[in-house]
């Protein structure tokens, strides 16, 4: 899986989620998005330097991993 940057508006939202999770518990947070093809493609295109043929990728924000996976249908 590759780590990349997302557009600022979305990254700001993910950063808020990361902050909330880190305030709740000590340890490493992991958020998994299992998306249908349409939503996965939209998320995939929001990132720079991601292989468009990927079926999963991740980003790390402040120690919280956000993993995007294509849901098998």
**pLDDT tens for residues 10-50?**
778 889 999 999 999 888 999 999 999 999 998 888 777 77
In this model, does residue 56 exceed pLDDT 70? yes
Q: Tell me the whole-structure pTM to 2 decimals.
A: 0.79
Euclidean distance between CA atoms 4 and 45, whole angstroms: 11
Q: Centre a 10 Å sphere on the Cβ of residue 56 and count the other Cβ atoms it contains.
A: 15
Instruction: Report CA Rg, the chain.
Output: 12
In this model, does residue 52 exceed pLDDT 60? yes
In this model, does residue 54 exceed pLDDT 60? yes
For the chain, the residue count is: 73
Q: What is the pLDDT of residue 34?
A: 97
């Amino acid at each position: 899986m590759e780590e990349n940057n997302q557009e600022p508006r979305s990254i700001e939202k993910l950063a808020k989620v990361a902050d909330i999770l880190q305030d709740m518990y000590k340890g490493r947070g992991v958020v998994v998005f299992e998306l249908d093809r349409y939503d996965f493609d939209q998320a995939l295109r929001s990132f720079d330097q991601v292989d468009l043929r990927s079926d999963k990728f991740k980003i790390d924000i402040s120690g919280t991993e956000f993993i995007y996976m294509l849901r098998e249908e």
